[in-house]
Amino acid sequence: MTQLNYRPGRIFLSVPHMGGHERNYVQKALEDNWVTTVGPNIPGFEHDICQHTNAQHAVAVSSGTAALHLGLRVLGVQPGDEVICSTFTFIASANPILYVGATPVFVDSEPETWNMSPELLDQAISAGIARGKKPACILVVHIYGMPAKMKEIMEVANRYEIPVLEDAAEALGSRYSGHQVGTFGRIGVFSFNGNKIITTSGGGALITADEELAKQAVFLANQAKEPAPYYLHTQMGYNYMLSNINAGIGRGQLEVLEKRVKQRREIYSYYRDQLSEVEGLEFVPEPKFCFANRWLTTILLPEGFKPEQVLQELEHENIETRLLLKPMHQQPLFADCTYFGNGTSDQLFERGLSLPSSSSLTEEELNKVIRALKQILL
């Protein structure tokens, strides 16, 4: 049974923030009886995603995880293949590699963006090739909305001719060298889960410049139903369709995406400015070429402070924070997997905390978090 962990006045990490027009799209769907996985909001939402990201094709699906799974399938990843994956990520990046029967090979972060190190990526690929196992795909994550070093990563990927799948689940609205993340690889994936920068309550999308890949993804997401007058199936598919109701929420949300990015960036700046007197406290600056949506403001605590302890103390103030991600190579599930490391993600996990970052946070709430943090750290 699902339980709601809620006390009144709680300051959450990241909550949905409606723009106002969502209800119009949803109401229209209800009035016209498009309460299903077909209806005008689906192509409408996909069109809007393309507009916002400059992608040629978008496929809206039921979750970001589903989009990653479809991405691996349409890129032709087979059982027994190896897929390179950022180790500093959420489990949803790596699970789809298991869904297709492949094996993840984890690659550590570089300290600037906290995302996949291009040098370690290069090492991981050549080591794979040396033991007769060229990776089938590179799954690169833009964690906390910070773009990975896509120029260097694409250079490595292109040199070895390995397709790139971008997990931009947390990074809608982020740009690298002026281009939206998700548009560098063969496929990019977004999540519209309730905690992300915009939401459909639950949903995801993949984007691609390749029409054939987009068609394949739609086909697999719809039970791989062949175009025949009867139910004909030659491949294993999934039910990964998005509801027309959810797509309606998404259309309203995309209208305010730019605003949400601006608000999250302002929250980051506010924390950074207000906490500047705390010695040893570190924020992640924006490296050259990067424009981050600042989905979550993350900090590295000064020496002598344990993230778990700070989290507990803030919890007493009814403030929700999270430890940074425990890297995949430290997960018991992946204990047997190959890992190319330099210690960066291990250190981030030891030192880091994500702060409440909802775009709907009031100045009063932000000041409460800042006051509580100063009390602990000063």
63 in contact with ligand PLP (CB under 6 A): yes
- Measured distance CA(208)–CA(56) in Å, rounded: 6
Residue 345 carries which side chain, given as an amino acid letter? S
Q: How far is the CB of 168 from ligand PLP (least distance, A)?
A: 8
93 in contact with ligand PLP (CB under 6 A): yes
Tell me whether residue 204 or residue 327 sits nearer to ligand PLP (CB atom). Answer: 204
Residue identified by tokens 């302890």 is 309
44 in contact with ligand PLP (CB under 6 A): no
User: Would you call 122 helix, strand, or coil by DSSP?
Assistant: helix
Q: Which stretch binds ligand PLP (CB under 6 A): 86-94, 147-155, 156-164, 309-317?
A: 86-94
Nearest to 157 by CA among 118, 129, 189, 127: 118
For ligand PLP, the binding residue among 25, 34, 88, 90 (CB under 6 A) is 90
Give the DSSP H or E segment for 343.
Answer: none
Q: How far is the CB of 33 from ligand PLP (least distance, A)?
A: 27
CB-based closest residue to ligand PLP: 64
Q: How far is the CB of 115 from ligand PLP (least distance, A)?
A: 11
Q: How far is the CB of 374 from ligand PLP (least distance, A)?
A: 29
Q: How far is the CB of 96 from ligand PLP (least distance, A)?
A: 9
Task: Tell me if 219 sits within 8 A of 10, measured CB to CB.
Answer: no
Q: How many helices (H) and strands (E) does the chain have?
A: 12, 15
CB neighbour list of residue 5: distance below 8 Å, 6 or more residues apart = none
Residue identified by tokens 């094709």 is 57
Q: Which stretch binds ligand PLP (CB under 6 A): 112-120, 163-171, 208-216, 354-362?
A: 163-171
- Measured distance CA(158)–CA(169) in Å, rounded: 23
253 in contact with ligand PLP (CB under 6 A): no
169 in contact with ligand PLP (CB under 6 A): yes
Query: Any bridge partners for residue 54, and if so which?
Result: none
69 token code pair = 């799974």
Q: How far is the CB of 65 from ligand PLP (least distance, A)?
A: 3
Q: How far is the CB of 269 from ligand PLP (least distance, A)?
A: 23
What's the number of CA atoms in the CB half-sphere (13 Å) around residue 105? 23
Site track for ligand PLP across 133-162, x = CB under 6 A: --------x---------------------
Task: Tell me if 374 sits within 8 A of 278, measured CB to CB.
Answer: yes
- The residue count of the chain comes to 378
Tell me whether residue 168 or residue 267 sits nearer to ligand PLP (CB atom). Answer: 168
170 in contact with ligand PLP (CB under 6 A): yes
Give the DSSP H or E segment for 109.
Answer: none
Per DSSP, 204 falls in state: E
Within positions 190 to 209, which residues make up the interface with ligand PLP, using CB under 6 A? 191, 193, 204
Contact positions vs ligand PLP (CB under 6 A):
63-65, 89-90, 92-93, 141, 167, 169-170, 191, 193, 204
